[in-house]
């Protein structure tokens, strides 16, 4: 779909905001949402780690895997991972954080500045393509799915989560405080995404509508931002208000979240 926002807008946004997000979301730089269950209770970061665990298990990632992470972060998998990201700042921070890792971990992880719509890798180069909270930023999602398909070896897995638009007619508040604030829009509902994946040639192994967990994630984030307000009331109270709008948009079914496991 065409968009008012360009890749340069997204890159500039993440280059500028990485430090702010690290101040209250996750110091390690992870920027995704959580899958809550009885093991996590209401703890947001535990729920984020839980989502990583669930996705790793469902994608059958093992030490022999070679994973391409679109939008950077799959570092706890014990296998070779190449992380790409549009944001040079986020790539530099990821490379810097490698310095404190043991040599065997450093040898397995590579980071490169690139776009998911134009991957600088050969056909069939990876056993897995992984992505968390990233593809919604990409206007030409069909191109990103085709690129993921191209760089996967036959039988390889695409495992990812992404924001969805449950219905096309969204309110002006959702447009302003959710979609425009996050510089995105999408044609895909939860099931529309399934169709797009099948149309790209993937087999769909599993899909999960995680919208409820997205709402819960943003309630937690609203509290976490407010807890920092003494540092800068305008910034953190503003973020907290924005996150309350995210919760409302999920409740009104103007915003959704899905997770998909597919095979080439
Ligand atoms: C919300 S963050 C998620 C980061 C990480 N996956 C995580 O789970 O913490 C979205 C990331 O997607 C990156 N991104 C956006 N568009 C991209 C594109 N076309 N190609 C690669 N990365 C992109 C942004 O720079 C940002 O780092």
The CATH number that applies at residue 64 is: 3.40.50.150
Domain membership flag for residue 96: yes
Confidence category of residue 151, pLDDT binned at 50, 70, 90 = very high
pLDDT at residue 19 is higher than 70: yes
Q: What is the whole-number distance in angstroms between the Cα of residue 211 and the centre of ligand 1?
A: 20
Q: What is the whole-number distance in angstroms between the Cα of residue 137 and the centre of ligand 1?
A: 8
Q: What is the whole-number distance in angstroms between the Cα of residue 133 and the centre of ligand 1?
A: 7
Looking at residue 118, what is its pLDDT?
96
Domain membership flag for residue 109: yes
Domain membership flag for residue 2: no
Range of the domain at 128: 7-263
Please list the alpha-helical segments (H only) found in the chain.
7-24, 44-58, 88-98, 103-108, 141-151, 172-174, 190-200, 211-226, 233-251
| Ligand 1 pocket check for 32: Cβ under 6 Å | yes
| Ligand 1 pocket check for 34: Cβ under 6 Å | no
| Ligand 1 pocket check for 72: Cβ under 6 Å | yes
Q: What is the whole-number distance in angstroms between the Cα of residue 86 and the centre of ligand 1?
A: 7
pLDDT at residue 29 is higher than 80: no
* C-beta atoms surrounding 154 within 10 Å: 7
3-state secondary structure of 154: strand
Distance, CA of 236 to chain centre: 22
Domain membership flag for residue 123: yes
Best mutation site among 11, 27, 112, 137 for ligand 1, i.e. most ligand atoms within 8 A of its Cβ? 137
| Ligand 1 pocket check for 73: Cβ under 6 Å | yes
Contact 146, 175 (CB under 8 A): no
| Ligand 1 pocket check for 93: Cβ under 6 Å | no
Q: What is the whole-number distance in angstroms between the Cα of residue 114 and the centre of ligand 1?
A: 10
Domain membership flag for residue 80: yes
With the C-alpha atoms ordered 117, 114, 205, 156, is the resulting torsion angle positive or negative? positive
| Ligand 1 pocket check for 147: Cβ under 6 Å | no
pLDDT digits (tens, 9 = 90+) for 92-125: 988 888 888 888 888 889 999 999 999 999 999 9
Contacts 24+ apart (CB under 8 A), 77-82: 78/108, 79/108, 80/108, 80/109, 81/108, 81/109, 81/110, 82/109, 82/110, 82/111, 82/112, 82/121, 82/126
Phi-psi region of 155 (alpha: psi -120 to 50; beta: other; left: phi over 0): left
Q: What is the whole-number distance in angstroms between the Cα of residue 129 and the centre of ligand 1?
A: 14
Domain membership flag for residue 1: no
Record the tokens describing residue 92, joined without a space: 């530099």
The Cα 85–Cα 137 span in angstroms is 12
- Residue 181: name the closest of 169, 171, 173 by CA: 173
Looking at residue 3, what is its pLDDT?
63
Q: What is the whole-number distance in angstroms between the Cα of residue 194 and the centre of ligand 1?
A: 21
Looking at residue 248, what is its pLDDT?
95
3-state secondary structure of 165: coil
Domain membership flag for residue 173: yes
Looking at residue 76, what is its pLDDT?
63
Q: How many domains is the chain built from? A: 1
């Amino acid at each position: 779909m065409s968009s008012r926002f360009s890749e340069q807008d997204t890159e500039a946004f993440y280059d500028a905001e990485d430090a702010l997000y690290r101040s209250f979301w996750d110091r390690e730089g992870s920027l995704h949402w959580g899958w809550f269950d009885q093991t996590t209770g209401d703890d947001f970061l535990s729920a984020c780690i839980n989502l990583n665990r669930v996705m790793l298990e469902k994608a059958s990632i093992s030490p022999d895997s070679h994973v391409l992470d679109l939008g950077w972060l799959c570092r706890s998998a014990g296998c070779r991972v190449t992380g790409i990201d549009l944001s040079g700042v986020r790539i530099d921070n990821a490379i810097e954080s490698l310095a404190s890792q043991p040599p065997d971990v450093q040898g397995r992880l590579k980071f490169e500045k690139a776009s998911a719509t134009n991957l600088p890798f050969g056909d069939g180069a990876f056993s897995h393509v992984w992505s968390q909270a990233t593809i919604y930023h990409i206007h030409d999602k069909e191109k990103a799915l085709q690129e993921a398909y191209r760089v996967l070896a036959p039988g390889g897995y695409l495992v990812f989560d992404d924001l969805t638009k449950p219905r096309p007619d969204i309110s002006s508040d959702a447009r302003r405080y959710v979609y425009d604030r996050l510089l995105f829009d999408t044609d895909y509902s939860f099931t529309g995404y399934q169709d797009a994946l099948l149309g790209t040639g993937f087999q769909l192994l599993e899909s999960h509508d995680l919208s409820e967990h997205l709402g819960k994630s943003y309630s937690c984030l609203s509290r976490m931002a407010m807890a920092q307000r003494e540092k800068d009331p305008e910034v953190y109270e503003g973020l907290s208000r924005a996150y309350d709008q995210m919760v409302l948009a999920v409740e009104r079914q103007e915003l959704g979240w899905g997770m998909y496991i597919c095979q080439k």
